[in-house]
Chain A
């Protein structure tokens, strides 16, 4: 098996196992209340980290580039209660424009 196929096979199996653990072992059952209250805060914790890392991260460094302008414009759109579609389009358009003029 070539290196590429080995990577595809191993990463595929690992990912399928990781994604399945919770739903296979705990599916349909309510979590104990203390755990459930923690899991309720998993979304804000992970989403905020994804926003921060996808805005400022570039591999293992933090950078300020055109994405910051795009996400800032998106944040203003969210604050003005724009629909999600418009938020995403504004962020991409502002970032593309900033790159074009840079």
Chain B
């Protein structure tokens, strides 16, 4: 890893924090929306905060709270959330070679892997910088749990964050992180096919499944 660090210049914990701060504002906003929605769904005050601290995956938590809000069953809420988080299995495999150290430290770092911290920590050659991952992950964690707490406590005063256009901040960030990865013709094809699979399946499959299916686009990169 020392060789990696030297080769990659200065990327460390602070890089992760700095790269994530602008996004943290949007994450706080979404944490607030989650807190508000979860309270409206009858989850009480403590359960939403515990969920943000343990599950730490926005889209899955929103899905579970919306199902409960609509009067759906516990099973439906759990299945929806688990499908949305299924992508973290391949994502976890992708970061595994970059995580060294004791099992408990790998276990704890793994919990900080979300789409944003994963994308920011990517070195672009299939490797991930564990220090950047840690800095970005902790920043996002504080923003998400803090936002949820604010939403649960003061939701009625704050109002709807969608008004601020925060929902467009996430695709814009993912696009900004995708752009430098599109150097080769093959990675452009993979990206186009991935986006195509995601959009094509959205009307037909439960949320979460299109994203998982899109990961199959990386099979285009098969080399022996």
* Interface residues of A, Cβ cutoff 8 Å to B: 2-8, 10-12, 14-16, 18-31, 34, 36-57, 59-62, 66-67, 70-71, 74-75, 78, 84-85, 87-99
Main secondary structure on chain B at its contact with chain A? helix
Q: Which of B6-14, B139-147, B149-157, B202-210 contacts A (4 or more CB under 8 A)?
A: B202-210
Question: Given contacts A19-B111, A51-B174, A67-B171, is CB(A11)–CB(B81) below 8 Å?
Answer: yes
Total inter-chain residue pairs, C-beta < 8 Å:
327
B interface residue numbers (CB < 8 A to A): 19, 21-23, 26, 41-44, 47, 50-51, 54-57, 60-61, 64, 68, 74, 77-78, 81-82, 85-97, 99-101, 103, 106-107, 109-111, 113, 115, 118-119, 122, 124-126, 162-179, 181-182, 186-188, 190-199, 202-204, 206-207, 210-211, 214-224
Does A92 contact B176, Cβ atoms closer than 8 Å?
A: no
> Interface of chain A, helix or strand or loop or mixed?
helix
Q: Chain B residues with Cβ under 8 A from A24's Cβ?
A: 103, 106-107, 110
Contact partner of A19 (CB less than 8 A), chosen from B78, B110, B210, B219, is: B110
Instruction: State whether B174 touches A47 (Cβ < 8 A).
Output: yes
Complex CA gap A5/B118 in Å reads: 29
**B216 proximity list for chain A (CB < 8 A):** 45
Known A-B contacts A41-B187, A53-B199; the reply to A11 vs B174 at CB < 8 A is no
CB-CB under 8 A for A11 and B55, given A29-B97, A44-B187: yes
CA distance A57 to B209 in the complex (A): 13
If A19-B92, A39-B218, A42-B218 are given as contacts, then 17 extra A-B residue pairs at C-beta distance below 8 Å, sorted by A number, are A4-B42, A22-B89, A22-B91, A23-B99, A23-B107, A28-B100, A28-B101, A38-B218, A44-B217, A46-B211, A46-B215, A48-B195, A49-B198, A60-B203, A84-B173, A87-B173, A92-B172
